[in-house]
Amino acid sequence: MAKLIAIVSLLLLAGCGTTGSGQISQFEVTVERTYLEPAPSWMTEQCPPLPKLPRKELSQAEVEKLWHRDQQLYHECRTKHAAYARWIQQRDEAFLKGAR
């Protein structure tokens, strides 16, 4: 890390040369702080793990019930993550429009 800081410092100093007239060139730097709204917490929570299967022989009805439950959980998780992706995309597009 120290080497990286030293290299960056040297590169910055190398850019501070003189103009053709012997005067030190000056750069105007403007820094703006931009607030990016965080996503709602429900969008970023990790999906719950699938429940473990019982350690017994399952009937056809039990398998179908467990499969249906797994599909519901998968659908909820997929829907949540799709909403998060859309939210990020819309936030970033709005930010870029405001920056122009």
pLDDT of residue 27: 72
- Burial of residue 91 (CB within 10 Å: 0-12, 13-18, 19+) is middle
pLDDT of residue 1: 59
Between these two residues, 90 and 98, which has the higher pLDDT value? 90
Token pair recorded at residue 78: 């997929």
Percent of the chain with pLDDT over 90: 35
d(CA 39, CA 84): 7
pLDDT tens digit sequence for 34-78: 777 888 888 888 888 888 888 999 999 999 999 999 999 999 999
Q: Model confidence at 14, in pLDDT bands (50, 70, 90)? A: low
d(CA 71, CA 75): 6
Alpha-carbon distances, residue 92 vs 52, 88, 100 (angstroms): 39, 6, 13
Token pair recorded at residue 51: 């429940």
